[in-house]
Amino acid sequence: MAGKTNYKKIISDALLYDNPVLVQVIGLCSTLAVTNLAMNSLVMGIALAVVTAFSSLTISLLRNITPKHIRMMVQVFVISFYVIIVDIFLKAYMPEMSKTLGPYVGLIITNCIIMGRAEAFAIANKPIPSFVDGFISGIGYTIVLLLVAFVRELLGFGSLFGIRILPQSFTPWTMMVMPPGAFFILPIIMWIAYNIRNKKKGAKK
Amino acid sequence: MAKKKSMIFPVVFMVLLAGILTFLLAVINEVSLPVIEFNQKIELQEKILSVFNILPEEATPQEIDSIFNENIKEEDYEGKKLYIQEENGENVAYAVPFDGPGLWGSIDGYLGIKSDLKTVTGIEFIKQEETPGLGGRISEPEYKEQFRNLDISDSSSGEIVINKPAPGGNIDAITGATQTSTFVTNMINEDIMNFINTRKEV
């Protein structure tokens, strides 16, 4: 891992070419669960980005002294450490948000994105690139969450970030509020992203 | 990395890591505990005041705390807390705890009743995990406002709240959340009737 780190590649990978949700198709549980309101998605996404960034940083710092065969245990340990901090922070300073997100904050621990980045990147790279990689992956996740939430909140409640956008006469699509709504929206977004990626690849040839 | 597959090093490593991380968490927890407890206390006080319909429109946490301490008395009731609103040393209203199963998780809340046991002052939910936008709307003002000043003097049927359009209905259920609406009225009927009956006997 000597030489310069290609940050540009890290960023474009995490956001589009290797987006955790759209391409790797991981972290779906929370994507389907919290995206009925844009505000929830934003806080969830930021929380995840912070946790991923710091746990990647820590795991990368420990990578040379971590015994190989217990590395997964160490990773989960470090991840839960940061998730509990986030949980405490939300409870203390954003009690309302902590209540709406409820169990999903605790479930960040099991979000495959964090573990995935730890295994795929942090365990073999220097601390700072790992931190960036983790954070940008989290942002890539946040963007997808917001896209899904945008459609779901608009159609399900007629509002965005709690502000009413569509007229009162608009009939909310109850389906969008429930988890199945995300099952419809997410694949559509995946499909669009797939086409964008393929077009760009085609152009390069 | 080569010679680290002994048994001892991984164990020592895990123990050390566990020690450090747990210690840090304990420190953070200790530091933020007062803030969290204060938040939770104020949230509960706000809800109880709202049950009694005496919550000011805008109030700082300190004001809520003082209003609460001046007007509300606590009493143990079936292993839970019963809140009593007092005015000039007399009981004006009770906030009676109720709970029961919801669609996804248990639902906890308080229903306020005037001391004549004939009028509801309000309702608040302390804990509910219903679907946001559907069953979760029991926590929205539109649903809760229906309970304000609700006349429950006619509880001859053994039920004090009934979802419309059933005969004698006095509460609008939530569209698309029939289950939650039914659960809520059931738990109110059961727990509050129980309370009214024990009070009447006294």
Report how far residue B173's alpha carbon sits from residue B1's, in angstroms, rounded to the nearest whole number: 64
Chain B residues near residue A67 by CB distance under 8 angstroms: 4-5, 9-10, 13
Share of chain A above pLDDT 70, in %: 96
pLDDT of residue A1: 41
Structure tokens at A127: 């601390």
Question: DSSP secondary-structure letter at A172?
Answer: P
Which of A36, A69, A92 is the closest to B39 by Cβ?
A92
Q: Report d(CA B71, CA A168) in Å as an integer.
A: 40
pTM here? 0.73
Closest chain A residue by Cα to residue B133: A177
Q: Does residue B4 belong to the interface with chain A, where contact is any CB pair within 8 Å?
A: yes
Predicted local confidence at residue B23, as pLDDT = 93
Contact A13, A44 (CB under 8 A): no
Q: Does A169 touch chain B (CB under 8 A)?
A: no
Beta carbons of A36 and B9 less than 8 Å apart: no
Helix H, strand E, coil C: the string for A38-60 is HHHHHHHHHHHHHHHHHHHHHHH
Average pLDDT over residues B186-195: 88
Residues of A in contact with B17 (CB under 8 A): 62, 74, 77-78
Distance from CA of A50 to the nearest CA of B (A): 17
Which tens digit of pLDDT belongs to each residue from A95-150? 878 877 777 788 788 788 888 888 888 888 888 889 998 899 999 889 999 999 99
Q: Of all residues in chain B, what percent carry a pLDDT higher than 70?
A: 96
Confidence band of B19 (pLDDT split at 50, 70, 90): very high
Alpha helices in chain B (DSSP H): 8-51, 61-71, 141-144, 178-201
Closest partner CB to A36 (pick from B17, B18, B133): B133
Residue B5 is predicted with a pLDDT of 59
Q: Are A121 and A130 in contact (CB under 8 A)?
A: yes
- C-alpha angle B45-B55-B160 in degrees, rounded to nearest 5: 85
Query: In which band, very low, low, confident or very high, does the pLDDT at A164 lie, cut at 50, 70 and 90?
Result: confident
Rounded CA gap, A172 and B67, in Å? 40
The CA distances from residue A13 to A7, A53, A178, in Å, are 10, 16, 31
* Set of chain B residues whose Cβ sits within 8 Å of the Cβ of A157: 133
Confidence of residue A203 (pLDDT cuts 50, 70, 90): low
The pLDDT tens digits of the residues spanning A78-94 come to 999 999 999 888 888 88
> A79 in contact with B at a CB cutoff of 8 Å?
no
Q: Judge: A174–B176 Cβ closer than 8 Å, yes or no.
A: yes
Return the percentage of chain A with pLDDT > 90, whole number.
10
The answer to whether B146 touches B171, Cβ cutoff 8 Å, is yes
> Is residue A150 a contact partner of residue A38, using CB atoms and an 8 Å limit?
yes
Report yes or no: B132 at the A interface, CB cutoff 8 Å.
Answer: yes
Residue range B119-177, pLDDT digits in tens: 889 899 988 888 777 888 888 888 888 888 888 877 666 777 888 878 778 888 888 88
Tell me which residues of chain B, numbers 16 to 35, contact chain A at a CB-CB cutoff of 8 Å.
Answer: 17-18, 21, 24-25, 28-29, 32, 35
Asked if residue A202 has pLDDT above 80, the reply is no
How far does Cα A30 stand from its chain's mean position? 9
CB contact under 8 A, A74 and B13: yes
- B35 and A93 within 8 Å at the Cβ level: the answer is yes
| A63-84: burial string, b at 16+ Cβ within 10 Å, e else | beebbeebbeebbbbbbbbbbb
CB B120 within 8 A of CB B148: yes
pLDDT bracket for residue B27 (50, 70, 90): very high
* Chain B contact set for A98 (CB, 8 A): none
Residue B39 with chain A: CB contacts under 8 Å: 91-92, 95
**In chain B, which residues have their Cβ closer than 8 Å to the Cβ of A70?**
10, 13-14
Residues of A in contact with B25 (CB under 8 A): 81, 84-85
Compute the average pLDDT of residues A170-187: 83
**Which residues have CB under 8 Å from A188's CB, separation 6+?**
none
Q: Does pLDDT of B1 surpass 60?
A: no
**Which residues, other chains included, contact A41 with Cβ-Cβ below 8 Å and sequence gap of 6+?**
A34, A35, A142, A145, A146, A148, A149
Tokens of B139: 């926590």
